[in-house]
Amino acid sequence: MLSFVLRRLASAVGTLFLSSVLVFLAVQALPGDVATQILGKDATPDAVAALRDQLGLDRPAWERYFDWIKGALHGDFGTSLVSGKGVGGEVAMYLGNSALIALVTVLFAVTGSLVLGILAGLYRDRWPDHLISTVSLIGMSVPEFVVATVLVLCFSVALPWFPAVVLYGPDASVGQLLPAVWLPALALAVVMAAYIVRMARTSVIDVMAGEYVTTARLKGLSTWRVVTRHALPSALLPTLHVIALNVAWLIGGVAVVENVFNYPGIGKLMLSSVQNRDLPIIQAIALVSAVVYVCCNLAADLGAMALNPRLRTRGRTR
Amino acid sequence: MTTSTPEGSPMHPIAPGDSPPPIVSVNSLSVAYRSGGRDVPVVHEVSLDVAKGRTLALVGESGSGKSTVAATLLGHLRHGSRITGGSVRVDGHDVFALPARELRRLRGGTVAMVGQNAGQALTPTMRIGRQIEEAGGTVPVADLLEQVRLPRPAELARRYPHELSGGQQQRVAIAMAIAARPKVLVLDEPTTGLDVVTQRGVLDLIAALRDELGLAAVLVSHDLGVVAHMADEVCVLKSGRVVETAATRQLFADPQDPYTKRLLASVPRLDDTGLAVVAESGEREVRPKVPVPEGSPVAVSAHDVTVDYGSSRAVDGVSFDVRRGEVVALVGESGSGKSTLAWTLAGLRTPSGGTMTHETGDLARPAHRRPLALRRRIQLVFQNADTSLNPRRSVGDAVRHPLRFFGTATGRTEATEQARRLITDVRLDPALAERLPAQLSGGQRQRIGIARALAGEPDVLIADEITTALDVSVQADVLRLLDDLRRERDLACLFISHDLAVVRGIADRVVVLRHGVVVEEGPTEAVFAAPGHPYTRQLMAAALEPDPDAQPYVDDTVDWADAADGDDIWTDPGDGGHRVRRWRSLNAPVAEGVS
Amino acid sequence: MTTLDTTPAAVAPGPRAATRAWRTLRSSRTATVGLAIVAVHVLIALLAPLLTSYDPIANDASHALLGPSADHWAGTDQYGRDVLARVLYGGRYALGVSVTATLVTVALGTVVGCAAALRGGWFDDVLGRILDAVLSIPSILALLVVVTALGTGPAVIVLAIAVSYVPQVARVVRGAALAVVPMDYVTAARARGESTWSILRREVLPNITDVVCVEFAMRASWVVLLISSLSFLGFGADPPTPDWGLMVAENRTAITVVPMASLAPIIALATLVVGLNLAADGLSKAWGVDRIREGL
């Protein structure tokens, strides 16, 4: 069991290392001179030279990579080319605001979609299933910006309950942001839930058709007990990984929604730094995304271990 | 798991007019399955009765509806099936008229079921103890586990299903079934998939519990040996209809229906000295074996072969020769290394030691490193015909491709021509060539598998459990085909099987493997006449004959230890190449060698 | 025994593979409806010039922000362009780029996935690790970075989408191929000593075409969504190109004045994606492919 956890940890670190190399390569290896890219075509040669010097572009790539990663490990991601402030602090501030949305989204989406997915699976081919499946199909088919726009139309314009746009900057307090969190979170939750609902449904149907569930039924157990004790632990296993992937997807998913609502989160920062070619910030965001992805998957694997005795008891012999 | 000494099943003679009222009564039951908008009947007006304390066997080949009937005793139908007529009464209740709550009480409380595959019937995420506890009843879990003869019950209760062996899992499933002390036990192929020795142990356990607790039992099985050993009455099903119902002894001694006759006659027996030929009327004739011609050359030879999987040794120092026109059987239970050996010979594994040679070259290399001319000389036929043919390609294509690949046929038309001829050679209609595998029956698919192997014009054919997945009547046909082909084509055949009766009928020589080591080998007749190694005897004692009065083939099984040492490995009983690995008895410490 | 065994399991002669696939497809109403919706979209995109007489990019300030009328069935936008014409033409960009991108992605992913399954060992391990690393970067970020660096040409977008979606396709195909590799017919081919490529082509690929088709339909729906999001954010189609995502972005602020200008492209987009999802769903059910099981 311990060896499984250790192996899983080692592989997570390996993936992170590879991702960081990819991020660095992708950003640095973009065609053309990075300094010219940033400053634009009509920058003076002096300015370009100064920027090259500031970025250390004359040194070999691997050296720059190790400098960057060493700094990153200490929380120092360099300085923003636009604001001149430390990248670490900047990203952390925006990330914190996004975390607020993410928290609400995950809470709603995961609980709601699991309940709906399991219901649909249990009522397979009957009206609750048809209803839930249809709604989730539509949820999957509509892009976030459409959901967001419709929500604004309904709950900001028609019924002025929530603000349509956020008027605060990134340093707003939680109290200031709280009223603005709900609509973006709802928009994200709709899209995210669709996938989890479908996964949970298929997985429940699969397990319910399994031999051991039949055996449990033929033991004369109540449906409730059969579902909760015998079916769900196994049915949740494959769902866990879909949840993890969806949670990791949030960090990219917020980009669109935050821009619709002008919410000062990581997605908005991502977009503005791409527009401004603020490379250190892009690198930092990409790295943070990779960390989130790896952590989510790790959590899913550990969760799977808790649910699956086969993984837990590995090494014990017959 | 240790084997208890086999005990005959107690069969109460039927006293006419004195039969107790039935506890299970199925009355002209019909079941249909809904598919593509119409009802497909699977069970037709089946009626049967089981009295208290008695065992009824439902016998039939695949698709006979026997499992469907058995499951109705618990009010269970497969998704999409429904009752179209008749009733099922158990202990006075009409099962399909019971309200949900009553039905739950009936399941487990009155009727309990033991399924075919305990590995899949136990919930993987729950501890064994919890699962048994749940089944209700007042008997403590530890006592139940003890009752099914499992060692260290307290510790075992805290384990998860995957931590047990197949035999142990089945015992747990039995413990679960008897937990609430039901009156009726439904056993659906309870020992299929278990090794013979394990099977014998589980069957003996079931018989003992049945008598101890006075249970009525319904046993579903395709294995007539198991049925003869366990049942008081037998009900033969074919395509969802009852063909014949009779007391066991009467049915086996004097079957009335031609189908039953053919079915019984098709079962290979331990004392058959050749393959059985069954006539349409059910007449049985044993075709004598044709001796291997004198001076027939050795086609393939293995010497001291060792195969490792990582750190574990699957095959350990095995040697044998197969001559042209000879069938050599590799016999053993699962894990004996017999299939590994076959795959190694076919070039799918690399041996870690020893030599393997064919008339024309060295076989110690994997298939893709062997020259084409050598590769085509050794061909493999697989156990499961369902997965051995590509479902997306016609069966004609499956035969044609190797013809062209090995260069046996040049040109497309010649290959098509030859493929049709090969399909005819395996006694199939060449018109089947255009079909997809899914459109053929299991036996037909297996013949195509053989035709594909013949496409390379091999001189060595490796048959890996090729009849295991087939129904008994089909099995007999495929075996005869194999026997004919080796004569017609002078093939050296390595026949891998766990079924001693099949081996007796087809093999010229037998090699018995245990844990990757040869414990006994010799001419088939010599080995069956005087099995020298206690393991061989244990296998023979565990084999079940389709005859309720059969005496165990061998009945002295002893505890033993390996005594092979250095160069002194074998003892020779002196009957023509028969040799036995040295062992010593643990029961009587002095005795040594062959008893 | 000497007689020929002619008892067939099915009497009909084996129909060709394509016929069979078509027949199962027809049997699934979901798949038929989905494919029909997609087909209608494709037709509209191709025939757009015949369906409307308006130029989708011609400004007409005098007719800006009109509601639906006999002249402009779906009204006009803030520049006075006919909304219906823009919606009809809008499918061209979305479909053209998505179909190309999806084709490239699925083809690459299939090759990579099959190779990983068939080779196994260290090759599979290393590949899996690299794919995982690519997956860890959000596709929208990757796309944004590539587009800003290389411009917003369709070729660039196709490339960027391929890079960020190939790992997912490869994973699914690898899973499907892994189920085929242990089959005895693959083993038989190995025992014959056939080459990896030949085993892949003859034995593995024909048995995973269903998975690949379903994968294509599903990825296409994702790609359409992603491209429209990109356009919405201003990184995809360049104005004044008619594109649905772009139209929503342009007309969103005027949604209370001319709702149709936003709603029409939304409806077009949603029906296309619903069509693709229905097709993927129906196909996977008809062919017995469990697409969600195999991970996203």
Kindly compute the dihedral angle of the four CA atoms of residues B500, B501, B505, B507, in this order, to the nearest 10 degrees.
0
pLDDT in tens, C8-21: 333 344 445 567 66
**pLDDT band (50, 70, 90) for residue B1:** very low
**So what's the pLDDT on residue C28?**
76
In angstroms, the separation between the Cα of residue A222 and the nearest Cα of chain B is 7
Return the residue of A nearest to C129 by Cα.
Answer: A15
A5 located within any domain: no
Asked if the model's pLDDT at residue B7 lies above 50, the reply is no
Q: Kindly state the average pLDDT of the residues A268-291.
A: 87
* Helical pair C83-119 and C29-51, crossing angle rounded to 10 deg: 130
Q: Are residues B448 and B365 in the same domain?
A: yes
What is the pLDDT averaged over residues B530-538?
Answer: 90
In the structure encoding, which two tokens stand for residue B202, read together? 């589980």
| pLDDT band at residue C137 using 50, 70 and 90 as cut-offs | confident
Domain span at A141 = 87-283
Q: Give the tens place of pLDDT for each residue, A67-76.
A: 888 888 887 8
- Quick one: pLDDT at residue C45? 86
pLDDT computed for residue B9 by the predictor: 42
Tell me, yes or no, if C24 comes closer than 8 A to chain B by beta carbon: no
**Is there a domain that residue B262 lies in?**
no
Residue of A nearest to C278 (CA): A137
pLDDT for the residue C113 = 92
Q: Are C66 and C116 within 8 A, CB to CB? A: no
Average pLDDT of B430-435? 89
Q: For residue A37, what pLDDT band results from cuts at 50, 70 and 90?
A: low
Contact list in B for residue C9 (CB cut-off 8 A) is: 438-441, 444
Q: Say which residue, B315 or B572, is predicted with more confidence.
A: B315
What is the reported pLDDT for B420?
93
Cβ–Cβ contact A315 with B under 8 A? no
Phi/psi for B544 (5° steps) reads -105, 125
Distance, CA of A182 to CA of C123 (rounded, Å): 46
Contact B163 A313 (CB under 8 A): yes
Q: Output the pLDDT for position B482.
A: 93
- Chain C, 213 to 232: residues with Cβ < 8 Å from chain A are 221, 225, 228-229, 232
Per-window interface: C 27-86 vs A, CB < 8 A: none
Q: How far is CA B199 from CA B58, B116, B202, B203, B420, in A?
A: 18, 12, 5, 6, 42
pLDDT value of position C16: 57
**Interface contact C1, partner B, CB < 8 A:** yes
- CB contact under 8 Å between A157 and C256, yes or no, is yes
C58-83 pLDDT, tens per residue?
Answer: 777 777 777 777 777 777 777 778 88
CATH of residue B84's domain is: 3.40.50.300
Distance from CA of A25 to the nearest CA of C (A): 12
Q: Is the pLDDT of residue C3 over 60?
A: no
Statement: residue A43 has pLDDT above 80:
no
Do residue B447 and residue C5 have CB atoms under 8 angstroms apart?
Answer: yes
Q: Is residue B568 part of a domain?
A: no
Per CB-CB distance under 8 Å, the chain B contacts of A218 are 74, 76, 107-108, 112-113
The residue of chain B nearest to residue C195, with distances taken between CA atoms, is B368
B584 domain-assigned = no
Q: Give yes or no for B399 touching C (CB within 8 A).
A: no
Whether residue A242 and residue C273 make contact (CB cut-off 8 A), yes or no, is no
pLDDT of residue B589: 52
For residue C89 the two structure tokens come to 């033409």
CB atoms B393 and C206 under 8 Å: yes
Partners of residue A270 in chain C, C-beta under 8 Å: 141, 144
Q: Using the predicted structure, report yes or no on whether residue B25 has a pLDDT greater than 60.
A: yes
**Is residue B312 very low, low, confident or very high in pLDDT (cuts 50, 70, 90)?**
confident
Mean pLDDT of chain A: 84
Instruction: Determine, for residues A14 and C129 on separate chains, whether the beta-carbon distance falls below 8 Å.
Output: yes
- Report the C-alpha gap between B97 and B110 in whole angstroms: 16
Q: Tell me: pLDDT of C294 over 80.
A: no
Interface test with B, best of A203, A219, A316 (most B CBs within 10 A): A219
The answer on B367 and B242 residing in a single domain is: no
Q: Which range (A90-99, B95-104, B517-526, C54-63) has the least confidence? A: C54-63
pLDDT value for A1: 67
User: How close, in Å, is residue A107 to chain C by CA atoms?
Assistant: 21
Q: Poorest-confidence range of B8-17, B20-29, B197-206, B276-285?
A: B8-17
- Cβ of C14 and B434 within 8 Å? yes
Where do the DSSP E strands lie in B366-444? 378-381
* A271 interfaces chain C, CB cutoff of 8 Å: yes
A:183-242 residues touching chain C, CB 8 A cutoff: 195, 198-199, 202-203, 206, 238, 241-242
The beta-carbon neighbor of C4 closest among B384, B387, B429 is B429
Mean pLDDT over all residues of chain C?
81
Strand intervals (E) in B52-196: 55-59, 81-90, 93-94, 111-114, 184-188
Mean pLDDT of C196-217: 87
B425 and B316 in a common domain: yes
How far is C70 from chain A, CA to nearest CA, in Å?
27
So what's the pLDDT on residue A226?
92
- Same domain flag for B388 and B468: yes
> What's the Cα-to-Cα distance from A253 to each of A101, B544, C4, C15, C291, rounded to whole Å?
11, 65, 65, 46, 22
B167 and B191 belong to one structural domain: no
φ, ψ for residue A28 (rounded to 5)? -80, -25
pLDDT of residue B77 exceeding 80: yes
How far apart are the CA of C199 and the nearest CA of chain B, in angstroms? 11
Query: Any idea what the Cα angle at residue B55 is, between residues B50 and B56, rounded to 5°?
Result: 65
Q: What is the pLDDT of residue A249?
A: 85
Range of the domain at B2: 1-110+182-253
Size of interface B-C (CB pairs under 8 A): 97
Residue-wise pLDDT for A291-315, tens only, equals 999 999 899 888 888 888 887 765 4
Residue after which a domain boundary falls, among B253, B287, B316? B253
Are residues C150 and A304 in contact, defined by beta-carbon separation less than 8 angstroms?
Answer: no
- Is any Cβ of chain C less than 8 angstroms from the Cβ of B408? no
Question: How many distinct structural domains can be found in chain A?
Answer: 1
- Per-residue pLDDT for A179 more than 50? yes
> What pLDDT, in 10s, does the model give residues B192-205?
888 888 898 899 99
Subunits close to C (at least 3 CB pairs below 8 A): A, B
| B522, pLDDT greater than 90 | yes
Instruction: Encode pLDDT of B202-212 as tens digits.
Output: 999 999 999 99
Stretch B360-384: mean pLDDT:
89
What ranges in chain A are assigned the alpha helix state H? 2-28, 34-39, 45-55, 61-73, 87-122, 127-141, 144-152, 174-208, 211-218, 223-225, 232-261, 266-276, 279-307, 309-312
Which pLDDT band, with edges at 50, 70 and 90, does C252 fall under?
confident
pLDDT at position B450 over 50:
yes
B387/C10 CB distance under 8 A: no
Looking at residue B48, its pLDDT comes to 92
> pLDDT at residue B592 above 50?
no
Any CB–CB contact under 8 A between C202 and chain B? yes
Percent of chain B with pLDDT over 70: 95
- B10, B99: one domain: yes
Q: What is the mean pLDDT of chain B?
A: 87
Residue B264, in any domain of the structure:
no
- Which of B79, B107, B125 is opposite residue A219, by nearest beta carbon? B107
pLDDT of residue C295: 35
The two tokens of residue B551 are 């005496």
Task: Note whether residue A294 is domain-resident.
Answer: no
Of residues B477 and A168, more confidence is placed in B477
Which residues between 163 and 192 in chain C have a beta carbon less than 8 angstroms from any beta carbon of chain B?
183-185, 187-188, 190-192
Q: What is the pLDDT of residues C82-96, one digit of tens each?
A: 888 888 888 888 888
CA angle B209, B214, B217 (to 5 degrees): 75
The mean pLDDT of B38-66, rounded to a whole number, is 90
Count up the domains in chain B and report the number: 3
- What pLDDT is attached to residue A4? 78
- A288 within domain boundaries: no
Radius of gyration of chain B (CA): 25
Query: What CATH code is carried by the domain that includes residue A267?
Result: 1.10.3720.10
Cβ atoms of B478 and B467 closer than 8 Å: yes
B394 plus B505 within the same structural domain: yes
pLDDT of residue B493: 95
Q: Are B80 and B150 contained in the same domain?
A: no
What is the SS3 assignment for A71-128? HHHCCCCCECCCCCCEHHHHHHHHHHHHHHHHHHHHHHHHHHHHHHHHHHHHCCCCHH
| Same domain, yes or no: B42 and B153 | no
What integer pLDDT is reported at residue A41 of this predicted model?
A: 65
- The pTM (predicted TM-score) of the whole model is 0.82
User: Where residue A317 falls among pLDDT bands split at 50, 70, 90?
Assistant: very low
Same domain, B169 and B186: no
Q: Which chains are adjacent to chain A, needing at least 3 Cβ pairs under 8 Å?
A: B, C
Give the pLDDT band of residue B421 (cuts 50, 70, 90). very high
State the pLDDT at residue B444: 92
Are B306 and B400 in the same domain? yes
The DSSP annotation for C149-215 comes to: HH-S-HHHHHHHHHHHHHHHHHHHHHHHHHHHTTSHHHHHHHHTT--HHHHIIIIIHHHHHHHHHHH
Interface of B with C in 329-388 (CB under 8 A): 346-348, 367-368, 370, 372, 375-376, 379-380, 382-384, 387-388
| Preferred mutation among C136, C227, C246, C247 to probe A, highest tally of A CBs within 10 A | C136
B354 with B478, same domain: the answer is yes
Cβ of A316 within 8 Å of Cβ of B163? The answer is yes
Domains of chain C: 27-51+82-294 (1.10.3720.10)
Q: How many CB pairs under 8 A join A and B?
A: 82
Q: Is residue B558 part of a domain?
A: no
Q: What pairs with residue B355 in β-bridges?
A: B303
B3-12, B36-45, B323-332, B566-575, range with the lowest pLDDT: B3-12
Residue C66: the pLDDT is 72
pLDDT bucket at B5, cuts 50 / 70 / 90:
very low
| pLDDT band for position B274 (cuts 50, 70, 90) | confident
A139-163: pLDDT as tens digits: 888 888 888 888 888 888 788 888 8
Contacts of C1 in chain B (CB under 8 A): 277, 427, 477, 480-481
Q: Tell me if C133 and A290 make a contact (CB, 8 A cut-off).
A: yes
Q: What chain B residue is nearest to C27 in terms of C-alpha separation?
A: B36
Nearest-by-Cβ selection for C255 from A149, A241, A256: A149
- Domain for residue B6, yes or no? yes
CA nearest B130 in A: which residue?
A: A229
pLDDT at C102: 94
